[in-house]
Amino acid sequence: MNLSQDIKPISYLKAKTADVINSVNDTQRTVIITQNGEAKAVVQDIKSYENMKNSLNLLKLIVQSENDIEKDDIVKQDEMFDNLEQKLFG
């Protein structure tokens, strides 16, 4: 990964917006946009963004599950399946 190629000033984005978007979609590499020498934004293709959001949601579920286990707020597997069968099949 050559990060220096993926860092562009905001003036570059203003002048070459279509090129940046096409490049991001073709390479699936994010582009970091700087303003006054500081990183301010990231341009990313939609598929990579969706994958990142899905990954974050999974991590949140794992953390919630770990918290439930620590609090002993759990349901045994057999009991969960019995409850589910009752709800589905009466």
Cβ neighbours of residue 42 closer than 8 Å, sequence gap 6 or more: 30, 31, 32, 33
CATH assignment, 3-44: 3.40.1620.10
Q: Is 31 helix (H, G, I), strand (E, B) or coil?
A: strand
Q: State pLDDT tens for residues 22-76.
A: 999 999 999 999 999 999 999 999 999 999 999 999 999 999 999 999 999 999 9
Q: How far apart are CA 61 and CA 20, in angstroms?
A: 34
**Predicted confidence (pLDDT) at residue 12 exceeds the cutoff of 90:** yes
List the domain boundaries for the chain. 3-44
Identify residue 59 by its one-letter amino acid code.
Answer: L
